[in-house]
């Protein structure tokens, strides 16, 4: 029996006591044993960072923590659980965004050299109750993309957690060497899941198939490509290479600009990644009639000309 299920049972027993003032002997023993287990499992566990961890070695370090602590916890620990239990890590990673750094008068040529976990910092290992809550949050999280609105939203149940600007695929067909065919570049609609994470992506131009390592930023400066996770989607049962990934040129957000992928800011990509473990549901829709932040109805531009073919 999982601790989450035990917790629900014990809460039910305690509720019975509160309402009826009665509890069976077996129920009392179960409640006592469970509370003792929770007390022991919820004793504080901390990880001390002995050496500075930079982005280049960040994922390897997190993998080593998962391997070490997996046998020491009562739940299946994961990178996502560890980071969500220490949300300052997400803030630190988001602040490595080239344009955030630039706004602080800091030019970053190689993002992989930036420090994520300074020596001496402490990470909290989530106890069983926190892990139970986080796992439930993951299960109740979904991603919603509205193509003509250029928005990606993250929901937990019906609560809106985040809204991010995006770019989407162009409204045309083009021959792509990587697919060796003439490809419809429009972002695909439908329902599906996050099927894969690519934590250290290689970069290829899909048009000519050539690998690249550098990028020209919106300020005309050149940097190495950053290491930020990409999320692969499976839509309507098909894996067509449609990714959610950061763009190094946020001037293209709010436009039909890509070769089909959904582009986001570098900072936003980290937040999306840590809210979307494998299996997270995603809906990609094309709704022209929406409401603005004030609740007023508006009709969006039909960027893919779908309406004229109805």
3-state secondary structure 176-207: ECCCCEEEECCCCCEEEEEEEEECCCCCECCC
Check: CB of residue 157 under 8 Å from CB of residue 164. no
pLDDT in tens, 255-300: 999 999 999 999 999 999 999 999 999 999 999 999 988 889 999 9
pLDDT computed for residue 97 by the predictor? 99
DSSP 5-58: HHHHHHHHHHHHHHHHS---HHHHHHHHHHHHHHHHHTS--EEE--S-EEHHHH
Active-site residue, 4 included: no
If pLDDT is split at 50, 70 and 90, which confidence band does 1 have?
very low
Residue 127 clears pLDDT 80, i.e. is over it? yes
User: Lowest-confidence range among 6-10, 112-116, 152-156, 177-181?
Assistant: 6-10
Backbone angles phi, psi at 209, to 5 degrees: 80, 5
Residue 58 clears pLDDT 70, i.e. is over it? yes
Most confident of 38-52, 63-77, 154-168: 154-168
Backbone angles phi, psi at 255, to 5 degrees: -135, 155
Check: CB of residue 252 under 8 Å from CB of residue 246. no
Q: Round to whole Å and give the CA distance between 302 and 149.
A: 10
Annotated active-site residue in 80, 132, 261, 275 = 261
Strand 190-198 versus strand 281-285 pairing type = antiparallel
Active-site residue, 80 included: no
199 burial via Cβ count (<10 Å: 0-12, 13-18, 19+): middle
pTM, rounded to two decimals: 0.88
H or E stretch covering 66: helix 55-69
Residues 6+ apart with CB under 8 A from 166: 145, 150, 151, 152, 253, 254, 262, 263, 264
Tally the C-alpha atoms within 13 A of residue 276's C-alpha that lie toward its C-beta: 33
Average pLDDT over residues 27-40: 54
If pLDDT is split at 50, 70 and 90, which confidence band does 25 have?
low
Q: Round to whole Å and give the CA distance between 254 and 139.
A: 29
Single out the residue of 188, 186, 179 nearest to residue 207, CA to CA. 179
143-309 is classed in which CATH architecture? Answer: Beta Barrel (2.40)
Q: Round to whole Å and give the CA distance between 178 and 175.
A: 9
Single out the residue of 200, 227, 203 nearest to residue 213, CA to CA. 203
pLDDT computed for residue 215 by the predictor? 98
Check: CB of residue 187 under 8 Å from CB of residue 262. yes
Q: How high does pLDDT run on average in the chain? A: 90
């Amino acid at each position: 029996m999982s601790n989450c299920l035990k917790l629900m049972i014990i809460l039910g027993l305690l509720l019975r006591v509160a309402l009826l003032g009665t509890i069976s002997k077996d129920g009392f023993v179960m409640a006592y044993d469970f509370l003792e287990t929770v007390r022991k499992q919820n004793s504080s566990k901390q990880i001390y960072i002995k050496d500075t961890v930079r982005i280049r070695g960040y994922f390897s370090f997190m993998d080593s923590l998962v391997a070490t602590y997996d046998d020491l916890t009562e739940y299946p620990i994961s990178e996502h659980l560890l980071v969500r239990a220490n949300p300052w890590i997400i803030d630190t990673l988001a602040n490595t965004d080239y344009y955030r750094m630039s706004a602080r008068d800091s030019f970053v040529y190689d993002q992989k050299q930036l420090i994520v976990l300074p020596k001496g910092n402490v990470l909290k290992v989530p106890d069983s109750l926190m892990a139970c809550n986080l796992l439930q949050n993951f299960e109740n999280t979904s991603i919603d993309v509205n193509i003509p609105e250029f928005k990606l939203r993250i929901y937990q149940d019906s609560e809106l957690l985040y809204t991010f600007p995006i770019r989407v695929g162009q409204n045309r067909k083009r021959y792509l060497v990587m697919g060796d065919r003439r490809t419809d570049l429009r972002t695909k609609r439908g329902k599906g899941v996050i099927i894969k994470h690519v934590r250290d992506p290689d970069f290829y131009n899909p048009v000519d198939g050539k690998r690249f390592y550098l990028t020209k930023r919106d300020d005309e400066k050149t940097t190495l490509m950053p290491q930020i996770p990409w999320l692969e989607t499976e839509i309507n049962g098909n894996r067509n290479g449609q990714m959610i990934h950061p763009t190094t040129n946020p001037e293209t957000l709010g436009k039909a600009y890509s070769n089909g992928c959904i582009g986001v800011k570098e900072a936003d990509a980290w937040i999306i990644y840590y809210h979307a473990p494998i299996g997270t549901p995603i809906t990609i829709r094309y709704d022209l009639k929406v409401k603005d932040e004030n609740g007023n109805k508006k009709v969006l531009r039909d960027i893919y000309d779908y309406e004229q073919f109805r």
